[in-house]
């Protein structure tokens, strides 16, 4: 059975929510490290310069961006806009395009 694009974007929206739940551990750790002491803040600053941490941070931000954009699409659909199959397909494609652009911009900002 071949799933339509609307199903894939809906599944990805749920998966990004689960990913964000796990990614919050990284962000909470970074917040704790930044507030613990000046030495801990300096160590975190050095850690933030590493390519691996930048990649992890970009992944968490990418999950947040996709989840937020798909969530806005769901809110728009709750208003009765785009509830047809054609509208849903158009909305799903626009979620993918807008998310991709914003994720690339976030990557430029982080790197």
Identify whether the C-beta of residue 53 lies closer than 8 Å to the C-beta of residue 105: no
Helices (H) and strands (E) in the chain, counts: 4, 0
- Predicted confidence at residue 1, as pLDDT, reads 76
- Predicted confidence at residue 111, as pLDDT, reads 87
- Predicted confidence at residue 3, as pLDDT, reads 92
- Predicted confidence at residue 73, as pLDDT, reads 95
The CATH architecture annotation of domain 5-110 reads Up-down Bundle (1.20)
Map out the domains of the chain as residue ranges. Answer: 5-110
> Along the 111 residues of the chain, how does pLDDT read in single tens digits?
789 999 999 999 999 999 999 999 999 999 999 999 999 999 999 998 999 999 999 999 999 999 999 999 999 999 999 889 999 999 999 999 999 999 999 999 998
């Amino acid at each position: 059975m071949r799933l339509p694009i609307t199903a894939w974007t809906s599944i990805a929206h749920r998966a990004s929510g689960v990913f964000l739940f796990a990614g919050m551990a990284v962000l909470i750790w970074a917040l704790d490290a930044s507030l613990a002491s000046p030495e801990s803040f300096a160590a975190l600053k050095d850690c933030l310069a590493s390519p691996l941490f930048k990649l992890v941070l970009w992944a968490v931000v990418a999950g947040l961006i996709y989840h937020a954009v798909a969530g806005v699409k769901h809110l728009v659909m709750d208003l009765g806009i785009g509830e047809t199959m054609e509208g849903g397909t158009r909305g799903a494609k626009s979620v993918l395009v807008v998310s991709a652009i914003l994720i690339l911009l976030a990557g430029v900002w982080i790197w």
